[in-house]
Amino acid sequence: MFRLLSFSLLVLLIISCESKHPATEKQIVTIPEEMDKKVVENLKYVLQYALDNNGKINDSIRLSIAPVVDSFYHKNEYANIWSKKQQWVPLADSLYTFIEGCEAYGLYPSDYHYKHLALFKHMLAIDSLVKTDANEWTKADLMLTDAFMQISKHLKQGRLLPDSISLSGNSGITSNFFIKNLNTVIEKKSITYLLNSLEPKHTGYTELKKGIKSFTDSMDRKKYTYLNYPDKDSVSFIKKLQKRLQEGEYLDASVTHTDSADVADAIKNFQKRRGIKADGKITSSLVRSLNSTDVERFKRIAINTDRYKQLPENLPEKYVWVNVPGYYMRVIDNDSIVFESKVIVGKPATRTPKLNSVITDMVTYPQWTIPNSIIKNEILPAMKKDPGYLARKGFHLVDLKGEIIDPYSVDWARYTKGIPYKIVQGSGDDNALGIFKFNFNNPYSVYLHDTNQRYLFKKADRALSHGCVRVQDWEKLAFFIAENDSLHHNSDEPLSYNADSIKTWLADRERKRIIVKNRIPLSIRYFTCEGKDGKIIFYNDIYGEDKILREKYFAGK
C-alpha cells in the first residue's frame, strides 16, 4: 500500500512539473542591476519550453516563429535586448509605437502581441512591483523579438501564400533574414527606417497606403455577422441574416421569431438606407452589401497590400497592366501612366486568368479560332439542336486540312467532349475579336483585342467575356507599341511597320500579322482596392478571390 501511494505521489509530482509553465510565477528582483542577469537565465529556459510546446510560453502567449527567436538569442548568448535595469530601452518604445499604429501598413496589431505588451506597459506605469518581476521582463523581451520578426516577414513577404505567377523572390526567407535585420536595428538603434525599407516600392502600394489612415480614422469598428451566400444550410443562413439585420438595427432586436415578410421589410429598410433598389429580395448583391462593413473592408485592404508584395521587386521600365476587378488597362512608362483604357474581362464562369507574359505580335482584321472550352460548353450543345447555329453566328467549320465542312454532314450526336474540327470566325466588323488583336504567350488561349460589341464599355460591371480582355482604346495601345519599336529600332534594315502602316492596313481592311520587335511585358492582376488622391477605392470581388483569402487568413480578425 505504501509503495502504491509513493508511486501515485511521484506521478502527481511529474504531472505537476510538466504542466507548470516557466513564465507564470513571479520572480522578484529588487536590485535593478541584477534584473538583466535573471532575465538572461529565464530566456534560455523559457525558449526551450516554447520549442517543446509549439511556441507557447504560457497559456496565453505563443511565439509565432519560436525556432528563429531561439536561434537569435542563442547567437547572442540569450542577452535581453529590449530592456536594461528594469527599464524599456528607446528601441522597445519605437517598436511598441510601430505595433500600435501598424494598421497604417495594412497590418493587425493583434498579430504582434499588442494586447499583452499594452497591458505590460500600462502596469509598468501604475504598479511599481511589476518592474521587479523578472518573468514579466522575460515575456516582454520575447514578445517584442517575435513581433519584430513577424512584422519584418509581413512587410517583406506578406501573409498570403504566393500563387504560381506571383513569386517575387521573397518566398525563400530564411532565419538569417530575421536575425540580420534585428542585429541591424540593435546596432543602429533605429527601427522605422529598416521596417520601411522592407516594403514594396510599387507606386500602387504607396498610393494604397496613403489612403489607409483616412480610412481607419473614420472606421466603424463594430463587428457584424458575416454571411456566406449561397449557403447549403438555408435555415442557418436565414438565422444569420436575421441576426445581421438586427445588428444593423434594420430589424427589431427583441423579436426572436420572424416570418419572411418581416425579413423582407428589414431588407428593404437596409436597401433604402444604402440608396439601392428596395425590393426586399435575398440576392448575392444584397449579401455583398451587408458584408461590406468597415471591418471587412479593412480585411480587403490587408489582402491587397499583400498582393503588392507578391509582385517582383523591380518592375519593367515599360509594361501593360490590366486590373481585372478595376475593369481597366494601363500602359506604364517609367512609373508613369501613359494612358488608361476601359476593358471588358471574363465572366465569373469563364474568368480572365492572372498571368505574366509579353506582347509578341499584333493582328489586323484577325480571324477567331474558337477555344475548345467554348466549343464543348456552348457550341456543341447548340449544334446538336440545330446545325444551322454556326451559319447564324458567322462561324465556319474547318477540318485539319483547312477545308470548310458542311455542318449538316456531321453526326453531332457522336461527340460529347470535343470535335475533330476547328470552328473559325472570319475577319471583319462582326468578328468577336473586332478588327485588332494583341497576342502573348499563355496556356489559356486568351488575348487582348477589340470587340464587335463596343457598346458594352458603357456598362459599370464589365465581367462579360469568355476570358479574353477586350480593350476600348486598343488603337492607343497599338500605336504605343509601334512607336516604341520605332524608337528602339537599331538595325540598318527599315522596320517592317509603323503607326501609319497600321492605319493603312485597317483602312484597307487588310489582314496583317505584325511582329513586335521590342516586346512589351504584360501583367494581368487581381486588385480589389486601390489608393487615389488619399482615398481608397473598392472594386467588386467579381471572382470571389477576396472571400477565399478572407476565410483562409483573416476570418478571425
- Kind of pairing between the strands at 368-369 and 422-425: antiparallel
Phi, psi (degrees; rounded to nearest 5) at 235: -65, -45
The number of helix segments (H) and strand segments (E) in the chain equals: 19, 17
Q: 354-369 in b/e burial notation, b at 16+ Cβ within 10 A?
A: bbbbebeebbbbbebe
Among residues of the chain, what percentage have pLDDT more than 90? 79
In the predicted structure, residue 417 carries a pLDDT above the cut 60 = yes
Q: How far is CA 372 from the centre of its chain?
A: 30
pLDDT bin (cut points 50, 70, 90) of residue 56 is very high
Q: What is the 3-state secondary structure (H, E, C) of 505-545?
A: HHHCCCCEEEEEEEEEEEEEECCCEEEECCEEEECCCCCCH
Average the pLDDT over 57-77 and give the result.
Answer: 95
In the predicted structure, residue 454 carries a pLDDT above the cut 80 = yes
For 168-182, 373-387, 440-454, 491-505, which range has the lowest pLDDT when averaged over its residues?
168-182
In the predicted structure, residue 13 carries a pLDDT above the cut 70 = no
Evaluate whether 514 touches 362 at the Cβ level (below 8 Å).
Answer: yes
Average the pLDDT over 72-88 and give the result.
Answer: 95
Considering Cα of 538, then 543, then 549, then 550, what sign does the dihedral take?
positive
For 196-205, 256-265, 287-296, which range has the lowest pLDDT when averaged over its residues?
256-265
d(CA 129, CA 182): 30
Contacts within 8 Å (CB) and 24+ apart, 176-184: 177/152, 178/65, 178/68, 178/72, 178/149, 178/152, 178/153, 179/68, 179/71, 179/72, 179/75, 181/148, 181/152, 182/72, 182/81, 182/145, 182/148, 182/149, 182/152
d(CA 408, CA 410): 6
Hey, what's the cell of 331? 500602359
The mean predicted confidence, pLDDT, of the chain is: 91
The contacts of residue 331 (CB under 8 Å, 6+ apart) are 318, 319, 320, 321, 337, 338, 339, 340, 476, 477, 480
The contacts of residue 489 (CB under 8 Å, 6+ apart) are 495, 517
Cα angle value 548/224/64 (rounded, 5°): 55
The one-character DSSP state at 103 is G
The contacts of residue 488 (CB under 8 Å, 6+ apart) are 517, 518
In the predicted structure, residue 166 carries a pLDDT above the cut 60 = no
pTM above 0.85, yes or no: yes
| pLDDT score of 21 | 56
SS3 assignment, position 222: coil
In the predicted structure, residue 17 carries a pLDDT above the cut 70 = no
| pLDDT score of 7 | 38
Hey, what's the cell of 420? 475533330
Q: Which of residues 162 and 440 earns the better pLDDT score?
A: 440
437: number of Cβ within 10 Å: 24
In the predicted structure, residue 20 carries a pLDDT above the cut 60 = no
Query: What type of residue sits at position 260?
Result: S
Q: Which residue has the cell 460529347?
A: 416
| pLDDT score of 12 | 36
| pLDDT score of 23 | 63
The contacts of residue 360 (CB under 8 Å, 6+ apart) are 439, 440, 441, 515, 516, 519
pLDDT bin (cut points 50, 70, 90) of residue 14 is very low
Average the pLDDT over 545-555 and give the result.
Answer: 96
| pLDDT score of 167 | 47
pLDDT bin (cut points 50, 70, 90) of residue 494 is confident
d(CA 340, CA 476): 9
Per-residue pLDDT tens digits for 344-354: 999 999 999 99
d(CA 398, CA 411): 15
d(CA 144, CA 150): 10
For 261-270, 493-502, 518-527, which range has the lowest pLDDT when averaged over its residues?
493-502
Domains of the chain and any CATH numbers: 20-199 (no CATH), 315-531 (2.40.440.10)
| pLDDT score of 338 | 97
Q: Which residue has the cell 513571479?
A: 26
| pLDDT score of 259 | 85
| pLDDT score of 393 | 83
| pLDDT score of 18 | 39
